[in-house]
Structure 1
Amino acid sequence: MTALLYRWPAAAEFARTVPKTKFYEHATIGAAVKDAFVADVRRITWAYKLADSTINLPGTTEVPEIQVFEIDAKGDDVAEGVLAAIDKAVRTPIIFENRRGEGSQQEVQMVAAHKQLGNGAPKMGTYFRTEWYSADIKRATLPTAIDLTGLYNALLQPLTPVKNHAGEKVSDVVTRLTTVRKLEREITALERKLRNEPQLNRKVVLRRTLRAKQADLAELTSTSISPAAGDTN
């Protein structure tokens, strides 16, 4: 079995332990997140730096470098607020590997959010996670890419819970996922209303609306892309 974990190139190894206080200094975080750093995190390691100088893939304006951070957890997980604070303190995109347990019982989980760079603060998307894997499981080689943007997209796409369209960027997937989750909430609410609605004519209207929402959801999660309106080619 090969996990959705990657064998990071030895040439990219950075292996620097980073004090938690560094993230307090570079990010405005509340007391709850500071408490989570103390309660959840044993050690933070800046494990790898994926860059032109280390893996011979050119950086881009979107993705000048990719960092890999290992977070050793004190308990079963690391709060998302902790990951977000680290992400905000480091301008370039980050792939996290959360670790829990000790020795032969140690497990690893890959976590990442799509980070869009711009003139201001980076825009962060939803955090996606793999399942927890045994730390000694076989790892996959890095995806093939021609630059760091391509590599970043290839690393993130398998994490997203919706199917990816051919050639689709991760930013497009994240936008689509936001719509998918909104539709899922609306469908759940409609199903609840339908169960509790006593009037037949009202049930008919609710079923019609529900079917339309379900059709929209199926289209968004399909692997095929419908032609744009007016496109006859």
Structure 2
Amino acid sequence: MQNLELKLPKEAFVNKFIAKAKFYEKANLNAKLQKEFVDKVQRITWMYKLAESTIGISKTETVTEIQIFEIELKELKIPKNVLKIIDKSIPYQILYRFIYSNNVAYGVTLKEHTSVENYYFSDWNTDIAFEFAGIDLEMVYQKLVKAFICDNERKQCSFSEIIDVDNKIKALEAEINVLYNKICKEKQFNRKVEINKVLLEKKAMLNEIRGDLK
């Protein structure tokens, strides 16, 4: 299991507790979402601030700072709804470290300002290597995202290409799941055959994309 020795300058270390109520107030949450915060999150700690002033790497228009948050959970499940609220409240890219008992996982937000496009997560208790070097903070951020979604060979590809391919994979996986459900519910044999034909085509497309990544 990886600890939080991220080899960052001491100037970047914040280690500041953030009250959950701050997110309630800023986001004006309804009772259901407030309850989700209470039921699923034990503690939120702002661990590091990556900025020009703390790590000596210049900002860009789209990435001015990167925050690293540690979230202690009450169950072995990452609460995505809670993350969306945090990300909408904070106009910076965020790297998350999740803790439950002795279990550790990581996540990162694909976002610009407060507009969240996607989340990427590691498996629980799986080592993941982060690199905090680059010509600017945008490059550092792109390297963090790449650590979650591609192997060493793909890391040489452009960031936009990697994200585009990952989005295509996710879309195909979602379509395949819908088609499986349709087959299970369909009672007419002929219709099942038609749906299955489309399913096989989608699976072939997915296998082709994944094959190109090997």
Question: TM-score normalised by the shorter chain: which range applies?
Answer: 0.7 to 0.9
Amino acid of the residue matched to residue 157 of structure 2? G
Q: In the alignment, what sits opposite 1:7?
A: 6
- The alpha-carbon deviation at position 24 of structure 1 amounts to 1.3
The answer as to 2:170 corresponding to 1:181 is yes
Q: Select which of 100, 114, 137 maps to 1:148.
A: 137
- The alpha-carbon deviation at position 142 of structure 1 amounts to 2.5
Q: Which runs of 5 or more residues in structure 1 are unaligned? A: 225-233
Amino acid of the residue matched to residue 69 of structure 1? F
Contact 1:72 1:98 in 2 (8 A): yes
- The alpha-carbon deviation at position 41 of structure 1 amounts to 1.9
Measure the CA separation in 1 of the matches of 2:41 and 2:192. Answer: 52
Bigger helix fraction: 2
The answer as to 2:125 corresponding to 1:133 is yes
Q: In the alignment, what sits opposite 1:159?
A: 148
Q: In the alignment, what sits opposite 2:17?
A: 17
The answer as to 2:18 corresponding to 1:26 is no
Measure the CA separation in 1 of the matches of 2:97 and 2:91. Answer: 18
Query: Once the two structures are superposed, what CA deviation does each residue of 1:60-107 show, in whole Å capped at 9, x if it has no partner?
Result: 111111000111223333421111111111101011111111xxxx22
The answer as to 2:108 corresponding to 1:112 is yes
- The alpha-carbon deviation at position 57 of structure 1 amounts to 1.1
- The alpha-carbon deviation at position 25 of structure 1 amounts to 1.9
Measure the CA separation in 1 of the matches of 2:73 and 2:106. Answer: 13
Could you say what secondary structure the match of 2:92 adopts? coil
Q: In the alignment, what sits opposite 1:228?
A: none
Q: In the alignment, what sits opposite 2:115?
A: 123
RMSD of aligned alpha carbons: 3.3
TM-score (norm 1): 0.73
* Bigger Cα Rg: 1
Count of aligned pairs between the two proteins: 209
TM-score (norm 2): 0.79
Q: Which has the higher contact order (CA 8 A, sep 6+)?
A: 1
Amino acid of the residue matched to residue 80 of structure 1? K
Measure the CA separation in 2 of the matches of 1:81 and 1:206. Answer: 33
Measure the CA separation in 2 of the matches of 1:57 and 1:146. Answer: 7
Contact 2:129 2:147 in 1 (8 A): no
Measure the CA separation in 2 of the matches of 1:209 and 1:38. Answer: 44
**For residues 190 and 85 of structure 1, do their structure 2 counterparts lie closer, same or farther at Cα, with a shift above 3 Å needed?**
closer
